[in-house]
A and B are shown apart, each in its own frame.
Chain A
Amino acid sequence: MKHPILWIHGEALGPSNPALVAYPGRPAVFVFDTALLEGATPAQSLSLKRIGFLYECLLELPVTLRRGDVAEQVLAFAGAHGADGIVTSAATDPRFKAICRQLEPHLPLQVLEPEPFVVLEPEPNLGRFSRYWRQAERAVWAQWATAPGPR
């Protein structure tokens, strides 16, 4: 991709967003998802506090703000900028995958992974936190051992 646009979503509203890092200066868009805000099941409509918090985070990023259907708005933004693709960052919310499936038939989509908290192989057993943590704690603290800083 030579001229992508960046799709910023609510799980990565900081400068470490890997799409912003990989393509600095490219046009970026965030869409307030009308269906979600108004209470798409099973969640409930969001209070103004939550919208205001997101909005203040977004004002500190170089990003155009839209509202409506996310896929429609992102594609319209890509069209307006003559983009040859869309770059975004991975998200956990299942809604993210559904939106990606709507985008992919129209333009190439690149999904970048943010830096993980800890890399675990094999995949941990998530039955209870204690099982996960037995494996994860060691791996997290191994990073401390190599991190720069005072000891």
Chain B
Amino acid sequence: MATPPRSGVPLAWPEQPGDLPRQFTSRDSLERELKQLFPQAEGGLSPIEGGRRRAEELLTRIQPQRYGKGRNFLDGPVTRLSPYIRHGVLTLAEVRDAVFRRTRERQSSEKLINELGWRDYWQRLWRQLGDGIWHDQEALKTGHASNSYASDLPDDIATGSTGLACMDGFIAELHSSGWLHNHARMWLASYLVHWRRLRWQVGARWFLQHLLDGDPASNNLSWQWVASSFSHKPYIFNRSNLERYSGGRFCSACCLRDRGCPFEASYEDLDSRLFQR
């Protein structure tokens, strides 16, 4: 299907040799030109479009109260503003004010404001830690030595062919759209670090390559939170948790739905299976 032209806003100064193009006949032609300009970059464009216009559309749709209740569900009313906030297309202050304008009772918007607070918190930590965000903030609480975690992304992860419908689904979405629901990020990160015993930095790098909102501070420190180098205990989940918040959409189609699911256990059993404490 043909897409409308992508034209840059006019500039009040003349172009110079070496300026990158700002006029494209369609989104497809933008993609073709970018592939030539940046040959080392993998893949194609995301279906998620950049730009202030799109960001403002999304901003008009935020529902703070529904967000507070349903944000943990994969099909819940999350804002999808993160790529725009990460790159300052919208400032955190603008989003805060948009939430305030929709707030009659403080309590109904508290969760959404709290999540904006997380973004502010990660940025403050980055200012304090600098490139230290790439190093363990604390010792792991898993009972495993740091050097017992693998340093290479396994092939079945890189290709999304683990045989687990949930994880392969998340990987496919990460690779095609560059956006994942926060809960999916947590499950995928936990699977990589705790079930596959992978260094969190490897997963963090992989996410930054693909996520449109990939911010080293939010990303790395959240991986550390999952890994337990920035939290009191490692984050794990089980099948009933994933099944509930994904509406069962993966489990019902999974080859391992009847036997062999590595997440089918109580938290106590998983804890003793995964950690040495």
Contact = CB atoms under 8 A, between A and B. Distances in A.
Interface of A: 10-17, 25, 27, 32, 37-38, 42-67, 77, 80-81, 89, 92-94, 114-118, 124, 126, 129, 132-133, 136-137, 140-141, 143-144, 147, 149-151
A59 B6 contact: yes
Contacts, number: 220
A92 B271 CA distance: 37
Contacts of B124: 124, 126, 132
A140 B41 CA distance: 40
Nearest to B96: A117
Contacts of B177: 49
Nearest to B98: A149
Contacts of B131: 42, 94
A56 B9 CA distance: 11
A124 B125 CA distance: 10
Interface stretch (B16-24, B67-75, B244-252, B254-262): B16-24
Interface string B13-56: 10110111110000000110011011011111110111111010
Nearest to B20: A65
23 contacts: A14-B55, A16-B88, A17-B88, A37-B41, A43-B208, A44-B208, A47-B43, A48-B45, A49-B44, A49-B178, A51-B38, A52-B46, A53-B178, A55-B50, A57-B52, A92-B217, A93-B126, A117-B91, A118-B120, A132-B121, A143-B100, A144-B100, A147-B100
A151 B101 CA distance: 9
Interface stretch (B110-118, B143-151, B184-192, B233-241): B110-118
A50 B117 contact: no
B227 to A, nearest CB: 16
A47 B44 CA distance: 8
Nearest to B41: A48
B2 interface: no
A141 B55 CA distance: 24
Nearest to A43: B208
Contacts of B178: 47, 49-50, 53
Contacts of A59: 6-9, 22, 51
A117 B88 CA distance: 12
A43 B215 CA distance: 11
Contacts of B119: 117
B46 A114 contact: no
Contact of A43 (B15, B20, B88, B216): B216
Given A43-B205, A126-B125, A151-B104, A51 B96 contact: no
Contacts of A133: 114, 117, 121
Interface in B188-208: 201, 205-206, 208
B113 A14 contact: no
A60 B51 contact: yes
Nearest to B220: A42
Given A44-B209, A64-B16, A144-B100, A53 B48 contact: yes
B19 A65 contact: yes
B134 interface: yes
Given A44-B206, A48-B44, A62 B87 contact: no
Contacts of B274: none
A94 B130 contact: yes
Nearest to B118: A129
Contacts of B89: 13-14, 57
A27 B13 CA distance: 7
A13 B87 contact: yes
Contacts of B7: 59
B128 A126 contact: yes
Contacts of B125: 126
B100 A149 contact: yes
A48 B209 CA distance: 9
A48 B93 contact: no
Given A27-B12, A65-B22, A81-B13, 8 more contacts: A42-B205, A43-B208, A43-B209, A45-B40, A48-B45, A60-B51, A92-B127, A117-B96
